[in-house]
Protein backbone atom coordinates (compact mmCIF):
# COMPACT_ATOMS: atom_id res chain seq x y z
CA UNK A 1 0.00 0.00 0.00
CA UNK A 2 1.35 3.41 -0.98
CA UNK A 3 0.64 6.88 0.38
CA UNK A 4 -0.80 9.71 -1.71
CA UNK A 5 0.44 13.30 -1.67
CA UNK A 6 -2.90 14.85 -0.70
CA UNK A 7 -3.06 17.30 2.17
CA UNK A 8 -4.26 16.26 5.63
CA UNK A 9 -5.56 18.03 8.74
CA UNK A 10 -2.82 17.41 11.29
CA UNK A 11 -5.22 17.77 14.22
CA UNK A 12 -8.12 15.67 12.90
CA UNK A 13 -9.21 12.98 15.39
CA UNK A 14 -9.79 10.38 12.65
CA UNK A 15 -6.11 10.34 11.67
CA UNK A 16 -2.85 9.14 13.20
CA UNK A 17 0.64 10.26 12.22
CA UNK A 18 3.97 8.46 11.95
CA UNK A 19 7.51 9.45 11.11
CA UNK A 20 8.38 8.75 7.48
CA UNK A 21 11.76 7.06 7.63
CA UNK A 22 14.25 7.40 4.81
CA UNK A 23 15.16 3.85 3.93
CA UNK A 24 14.07 0.87 1.83
CA UNK A 25 10.55 -0.55 2.04
CA UNK A 26 10.44 -4.23 2.89
CA UNK A 27 8.00 -7.02 3.76
CA UNK A 28 9.30 -9.26 6.53
CA UNK A 29 7.60 -12.68 6.67
CA UNK A 30 8.00 -15.53 9.16
CA UNK A 31 6.43 -18.86 8.16
CA UNK A 32 7.06 -20.59 11.48
CA UNK A 33 10.53 -21.75 10.48
CA UNK A 34 12.38 -19.18 8.41
CA UNK A 35 12.33 -15.48 7.57
CA UNK A 36 12.09 -13.87 4.15
CA UNK A 37 12.49 -10.17 3.35
CA UNK A 38 11.04 -8.88 0.09
CA UNK A 39 11.35 -5.50 -1.60
CA UNK A 40 8.50 -3.56 -3.23
CA UNK A 41 9.61 -5.02 -6.56
CA UNK A 42 9.49 -8.56 -5.20
CA UNK A 43 13.26 -9.01 -4.84
CA UNK A 44 14.64 -11.13 -2.00
CA UNK A 45 16.73 -9.12 0.47
CA UNK A 46 17.55 -11.54 3.28
CA UNK A 47 21.14 -12.00 2.07
CA UNK A 48 21.63 -8.24 1.95
CA UNK A 49 20.42 -7.73 5.53
CA UNK A 50 21.33 -10.91 7.49
CA UNK A 51 20.93 -9.15 10.83
CA UNK A 52 17.17 -9.04 10.25
CA UNK A 53 16.56 -12.75 9.71
CA UNK A 54 16.72 -13.58 13.42
CA UNK A 55 13.06 -12.61 13.77
CA UNK A 56 10.94 -15.24 15.50
CA UNK A 57 7.30 -15.26 16.58
CA UNK A 58 4.84 -17.76 17.98
CA UNK A 59 2.66 -17.05 14.95
CA UNK A 60 3.10 -16.92 11.20
CA UNK A 61 3.26 -13.24 10.32
CA UNK A 62 3.89 -10.76 7.52
CA UNK A 63 5.01 -7.28 8.50
CA UNK A 64 5.27 -4.14 6.39
CA UNK A 65 8.01 -1.72 7.29
CA UNK A 66 11.16 0.18 6.43
CA UNK A 67 14.78 -0.95 6.50
CA UNK A 68 16.93 1.90 7.76
CA UNK A 69 20.49 2.64 8.87
CA UNK A 70 21.18 5.20 11.59
CA UNK A 71 23.90 7.82 11.57
CA UNK A 72 26.12 8.65 14.54
CA UNK A 73 23.43 10.96 15.95
CA UNK A 74 20.69 8.33 15.74
CA UNK A 75 18.94 9.75 12.68
CA UNK A 76 18.04 7.63 9.62
CA UNK A 77 20.71 8.04 6.95
CA UNK A 78 19.93 6.99 3.39
CA UNK A 79 23.55 7.64 2.48
CA UNK A 80 24.73 5.12 5.06
CA UNK A 81 22.11 2.59 3.95
CA UNK A 82 23.33 2.94 0.35
CA UNK A 83 26.52 1.14 1.34
CA UNK A 84 24.38 -1.94 2.00
CA UNK A 85 21.75 -1.83 -0.72
CA UNK A 86 23.63 -3.48 -3.58
CA UNK A 87 25.32 -6.26 -1.61
CA UNK A 88 24.27 -9.68 -2.86
CA UNK A 89 26.69 -12.05 -1.10
CA UNK A 90 26.95 -13.31 2.48
CA UNK A 91 30.61 -12.33 2.63
CA UNK A 92 29.91 -8.81 1.45
CA UNK A 93 27.03 -8.39 3.90
CA UNK A 94 29.15 -9.64 6.80
CA UNK A 95 31.89 -7.16 5.93
CA UNK A 96 29.49 -4.19 5.70
CA UNK A 97 27.38 -5.11 8.71
CA UNK A 98 29.72 -3.59 11.27
CA UNK A 99 29.97 -0.27 9.42
CA UNK A 100 26.27 0.28 8.69
CA UNK A 101 24.00 -2.08 10.65
CA UNK A 102 20.40 -2.13 9.46
CA UNK A 103 17.24 -1.82 11.56
CA UNK A 104 13.76 -2.94 10.56
CA UNK A 105 11.01 -0.51 11.58
CA UNK A 106 7.62 -2.25 11.41
CA UNK A 107 4.58 -0.06 10.84
CA UNK A 108 1.85 -2.51 9.77
CA UNK A 109 0.69 -6.11 10.07
CA UNK A 110 -0.67 -7.90 7.01
CA UNK A 111 -0.89 -11.51 8.20
CA UNK A 112 -1.26 -13.14 11.60
CA UNK A 113 -1.92 -16.84 11.00
CA UNK A 114 -4.43 -15.53 8.44
CA UNK A 115 -4.75 -12.40 6.28
CA UNK A 116 -5.71 -9.27 8.23
CA UNK A 117 -5.48 -6.70 5.42
CA UNK A 118 -9.27 -6.28 5.42
CA UNK A 119 -9.33 -5.09 9.01
CA UNK A 120 -9.12 -1.37 9.86
CA UNK A 121 -5.77 0.17 10.75
CA UNK A 122 -6.57 0.53 14.45
CA UNK A 123 -7.30 -3.20 14.76
CA UNK A 124 -4.15 -4.17 12.87
CA UNK A 125 -2.20 -1.80 15.12
CA UNK A 126 -3.54 -3.45 18.29
CA UNK A 127 -2.60 -6.86 16.88
CA UNK A 128 0.88 -5.61 15.98
CA UNK A 129 1.46 -4.20 19.46
CA UNK A 130 0.30 -7.44 21.10
CA UNK A 131 2.56 -9.58 18.91
CA UNK A 132 5.24 -11.44 20.87
CA UNK A 133 8.47 -11.75 18.93
CA UNK A 134 12.23 -11.97 19.15
CA UNK A 135 14.76 -10.29 16.92
CA UNK A 136 14.61 -7.67 14.26
CA UNK A 137 11.69 -5.26 14.36
CA UNK A 138 11.30 -2.01 16.18
CA UNK A 139 7.80 -0.54 16.23
CA UNK A 140 6.80 2.95 15.24
CA UNK A 141 4.94 5.00 17.84
CA UNK A 142 1.99 6.76 16.18
CA UNK A 143 0.91 10.25 17.23
CA UNK A 144 -2.81 10.94 17.55
CA UNK A 145 -4.61 14.28 17.29
CA UNK A 146 -1.47 16.46 17.18
CA UNK A 147 0.33 15.93 13.89
CA UNK A 148 1.70 19.46 14.03
CA UNK A 149 3.84 18.56 17.06
CA UNK A 150 5.32 15.60 15.20
CA UNK A 151 5.96 17.81 12.18
CA UNK A 152 7.92 20.19 14.39
CA UNK A 153 10.13 17.33 15.60
CA UNK A 154 10.59 16.00 12.06
CA UNK A 155 11.69 19.36 10.66
CA UNK A 156 13.94 20.11 13.62
CA UNK A 157 15.83 16.86 13.05
CA UNK A 158 15.64 17.23 9.24
CA UNK A 159 14.03 13.83 8.77
CA UNK A 160 12.31 12.49 5.66
CA UNK A 161 8.81 13.61 6.61
CA UNK A 162 5.72 12.01 8.07
CA UNK A 163 2.70 9.93 7.05
CA UNK A 164 -0.93 10.42 8.06
CA UNK A 165 -3.18 7.35 8.15
CA UNK A 166 -6.93 7.12 8.52
CA UNK A 167 -7.66 5.00 11.60
CA UNK A 168 -10.38 3.07 9.76
CA UNK A 169 -8.26 2.38 6.65
CA UNK A 170 -7.91 -1.17 5.41
CA UNK A 171 -4.62 -2.28 3.89
CA UNK A 172 -4.88 -1.99 0.10
CA UNK A 173 -1.94 -3.89 -1.46
CA UNK A 174 -0.40 -2.22 -4.50
CA UNK A 175 -2.63 0.86 -4.40
CA UNK A 176 -1.74 4.49 -3.75
CA UNK A 177 -4.60 5.34 -1.46
CA UNK A 178 -5.92 8.66 -0.12
CA UNK A 179 -6.34 6.84 3.21
CA UNK A 180 -2.56 7.17 3.67
CA UNK A 181 -0.98 10.58 2.99
CA UNK A 182 2.70 11.44 3.00
CA UNK A 183 4.04 14.85 3.95
CA UNK A 184 7.70 15.11 2.85
CA UNK A 185 10.11 17.53 4.46
CA UNK A 186 11.85 19.29 1.59
CA UNK A 187 14.97 21.37 2.06
CA UNK A 188 16.06 24.27 -0.13
CA UNK A 189 19.50 25.66 -0.96
CA UNK A 190 21.42 27.71 -3.51
CA UNK A 191 23.91 26.16 -5.91
CA UNK A 192 26.09 27.40 -8.75
CA UNK A 193 25.53 26.08 -12.29
CA UNK A 194 28.85 25.00 -13.74
CA UNK A 195 27.67 23.21 -16.87
CA UNK A 196 25.12 20.83 -18.30
CA UNK A 197 24.71 17.43 -19.89
CA UNK A 198 23.55 17.02 -23.48
CA UNK A 199 19.82 16.40 -23.87
CA UNK A 200 18.31 13.29 -25.43
CA UNK A 201 14.97 12.45 -27.08
CA UNK A 202 12.47 15.21 -26.16
CA UNK A 203 15.32 17.31 -24.78
CA UNK A 204 17.72 16.83 -27.67
CA UNK A 205 17.52 20.54 -28.54
CA UNK A 206 18.01 21.77 -24.97
CA UNK A 207 19.84 19.92 -22.16
CA UNK A 208 19.52 16.90 -19.91
CA UNK A 209 20.52 18.24 -16.51
CA UNK A 210 22.41 21.10 -14.89
CA UNK A 211 25.73 20.38 -13.20
CA UNK A 212 25.64 21.89 -9.74
CA UNK A 213 28.50 23.02 -7.52
CA UNK A 214 29.44 25.10 -4.49
CA UNK A 215 32.39 27.45 -4.25
CA UNK A 216 35.32 25.75 -2.56
CA UNK A 217 38.50 27.80 -2.88
CA UNK A 218 39.14 28.87 -6.45
CA UNK A 219 36.79 26.35 -8.06
CA UNK A 220 33.46 24.60 -7.55
CA UNK A 221 32.96 21.42 -5.60
CA UNK A 222 30.63 19.17 -7.63
CA UNK A 223 27.47 18.22 -5.69
CA UNK A 224 25.47 16.46 -8.41
CA UNK A 225 23.12 17.27 -11.27
CA UNK A 226 19.49 18.35 -11.41
CA UNK A 227 17.24 17.32 -14.28
CA UNK A 228 13.74 17.92 -12.91
CA UNK A 229 11.67 21.03 -12.27
CA UNK A 230 11.81 22.42 -15.83
CA UNK A 231 9.12 23.00 -18.42
CA UNK A 232 9.77 23.42 -22.15
CA UNK A 233 9.86 27.19 -21.91
CA UNK A 234 12.45 27.25 -19.13
CA UNK A 235 14.50 24.54 -20.83
CA UNK A 236 14.81 26.66 -23.98
CA UNK A 237 15.49 29.90 -22.10
CA UNK A 238 18.18 28.37 -19.90
CA UNK A 239 19.85 26.65 -22.86
CA UNK A 240 19.97 29.93 -24.82
CA UNK A 241 21.59 31.67 -21.86
CA UNK A 242 24.12 28.88 -21.34
CA UNK A 243 25.06 28.91 -25.04
CA UNK A 244 26.44 32.42 -24.46
CA UNK A 245 28.39 31.27 -21.41
CA UNK A 246 30.10 28.13 -22.72
CA UNK A 247 33.79 27.70 -21.98
CA UNK A 248 36.24 24.85 -22.62
CA UNK A 249 37.62 24.70 -19.06
CA UNK A 250 35.76 23.00 -16.24
CA UNK A 251 34.98 25.29 -13.29
CA UNK A 252 34.86 22.22 -11.02
CA UNK A 253 37.53 20.54 -8.97
CA UNK A 254 38.36 17.18 -10.61
CA UNK A 255 35.62 14.66 -9.86
CA UNK A 256 35.11 11.24 -11.44
CA UNK A 257 31.32 11.55 -11.19
CA UNK A 258 31.04 14.54 -13.50
CA UNK A 259 29.35 13.00 -16.58
CA UNK A 260 31.54 12.48 -19.61
CA UNK A 261 30.68 14.79 -22.52
CA UNK A 262 29.40 17.58 -20.26
CA UNK A 263 29.42 21.16 -21.53
CA UNK A 264 30.97 23.66 -19.11
CA UNK A 265 29.93 27.27 -18.63
CA UNK A 266 31.16 30.36 -16.87
CA UNK A 267 29.74 29.93 -13.33
CA UNK A 268 27.56 33.03 -13.15
CA UNK A 269 24.15 31.38 -12.65
CA UNK A 270 22.90 30.68 -9.12
CA UNK A 271 19.99 28.25 -8.91
CA UNK A 272 17.49 27.60 -6.13
CA UNK A 273 17.26 23.86 -5.50
CA UNK A 274 14.92 21.71 -3.42
CA UNK A 275 16.27 18.36 -2.23
CA UNK A 276 15.70 15.59 0.28
CA UNK A 277 19.12 15.23 1.88
CA UNK A 278 22.86 15.05 1.40
CA UNK A 279 24.32 11.62 0.77
CA UNK A 280 27.64 10.44 2.17
CA UNK A 281 29.76 11.39 -0.88
CA UNK A 282 28.53 15.01 -0.71
CA UNK A 283 25.81 14.71 -3.34
CA UNK A 284 22.25 15.99 -3.31
CA UNK A 285 19.51 13.37 -3.18
CA UNK A 286 16.38 13.97 -5.31
CA UNK A 287 17.17 17.58 -6.28
CA UNK A 288 14.62 19.68 -8.17
CA UNK A 289 15.14 23.03 -9.90
CA UNK A 290 12.99 25.89 -8.53
CA UNK A 291 14.37 28.94 -10.28
CA UNK A 292 17.33 31.31 -10.30
CA UNK A 293 18.63 33.71 -7.68
CA UNK A 294 20.35 37.03 -8.30
CA UNK A 295 22.85 36.34 -5.50
CA UNK A 296 26.53 36.65 -6.45
CA UNK A 297 27.88 33.21 -7.22
CA UNK A 298 31.01 33.90 -5.16
CA UNK A 299 28.85 33.86 -2.00
CA UNK A 300 27.41 30.40 -2.69
CA UNK A 301 30.10 28.48 -0.85
CA UNK A 302 30.29 24.93 0.42
CA UNK A 303 30.68 26.32 3.92
CA UNK A 304 27.43 28.32 3.64
CA UNK A 305 25.25 25.88 1.69
CA UNK A 306 26.79 22.46 2.26
CA UNK A 307 25.64 19.77 4.70
CA UNK A 308 25.31 20.95 8.28
The alpha helices in the chain, defined as continuous H runs, are: 78-85, 90-97, 121-130, 147-156, 232-243, 302-305
- Per the CB < 8 A criterion, the answer to whether 111 and 62 are in contact is yes
DSSP 159: -
> Of residues 20, 167, 239, 308, which has the active-site annotation?
20
Dmax (CA) of the chain? 69
The answer to whether 43 and 86 have CB atoms below 8 angstroms apart is no
| Cβ atoms of 107 and 72 closer than 8 Å | no
Cβ(100)–Cβ(113) under 8 Å?
no
Kindly tell me the burial class for residue 203, based on how many C-beta atoms sit within 10 Å of its own C-beta (0-12, 13-18, 19 or more): middle
Start-to-end CA distance of the chain, whole Å, equals 34
Is 20 among the residues known to form the active site?
A: yes
Q: Tell me how far apart the alpha carbons of residues 29 and 198 are, in angstroms, rounded to a whole number.
A: 45
Q: How many residues does the chain have?
A: 308
DSSP structural state of residue 206: S
Residues 6+ apart with CB under 8 A from 44: 36, 37, 38
Q: Show which residues are catalytic.
A: 20
Amino acid sequence: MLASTLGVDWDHPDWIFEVKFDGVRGMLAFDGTSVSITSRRGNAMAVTYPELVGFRSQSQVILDGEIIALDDEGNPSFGRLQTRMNIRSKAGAAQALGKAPATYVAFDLLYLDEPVVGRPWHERREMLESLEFEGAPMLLTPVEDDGSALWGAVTERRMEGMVGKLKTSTYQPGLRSPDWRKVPFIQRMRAVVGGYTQGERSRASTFGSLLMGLVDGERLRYIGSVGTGFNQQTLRAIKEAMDQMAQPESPFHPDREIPAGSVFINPDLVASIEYKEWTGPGRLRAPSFKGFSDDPWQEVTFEAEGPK
